[in-house]
Amino acid sequence: SMLRQRREQQRKRKHREDEDEDEDGENSPSPEAPMRQAQSSQDGRSVRELVTTFDGSNGSYGSMFDVRNTNPSVGSAVLVQTLAVHANVDEACTIQVYTKPGTHRGYESDPLRWTLVFDGTIQCGGFKQRTVLPAVMFSGPSSLSSGMPGGVDQVGSPLRIEPGASRAFYVHMTEPNLRYTNAEHPQWLGGGGRRVRRRRGNRGRRATLER
């Protein structure tokens, strides 16, 4: 009937609005995933942090997720300085991080599309604790990205997300100790009109992107 069609159109419109940028900043993250904004700056740039849940209901060798810079303004690129992961062990862990422009969806098993930006062994913090990848190794002068086109912060950098663009990340561990949660809602980092969006993660496979 016409009424059912109208309700279905309204439902689809509401779904698209939930997925799109909220221009007025009224979209809020899931209560399980509070945002934390660091009140600090580095090299004259505002530094903010996107914190997700430590529910850890799933686990495997890795997780893939997308980060979107929803600010359309020229000059509002987001620079990813480092990542923190959730591991269920308190011991030395070998971690790799791969990235690619755009989404991870459809490229889960296509290693040629991904670029390795971090490969190191660090001390994992254990269950319900943050394991921060050292920024000096992730985006410092001696990082893998520093020797790539665009370096760590110029146009073309594998750590730079241009206005309106997305970038996919794949965190991989050599043992199945990574914990993650299937996100049901995008998560936002606001401030100064800039927002970063995290989409759903998916189960990583041990051999997907190994070199």
- First-residue to last-residue Cα distance in the chain: 55
* Contact predicate 98/169, CB 8 Å: yes
Confidence of residue 196 (pLDDT cuts 50, 70, 90): very low
Q: 0.85 cut: is pTM over it?
A: no
Residue written as tokens 């206005």? 163
Mean of pLDDT over the chain: 75
- Is the Cα torsion angle 164, 159, 128, 105 positive or negative in sign? positive
CA distances from 9 to 6, 20, 134, 135, 176 (A): 5, 16, 47, 46, 43
Q: What is the pLDDT of residues 34-74, one digit of tens each?
A: 445 544 555 666 778 887 778 877 889 999 989 888 888 88
* Contact predicate 63/209, CB 8 Å: no
Q: What is the pLDDT of residues 118-154, one digit of tens each?
A: 999 999 999 999 999 999 999 999 999 999 999 998 9
**Phi and psi for 88 in degrees, rounded to 5?**
-100, 15
| pLDDT for residue 174 is more than 50 | yes
Alpha helix (H) residue ranges in 74-210: 135-138
Structure-token pair, residue 44? 């004259």
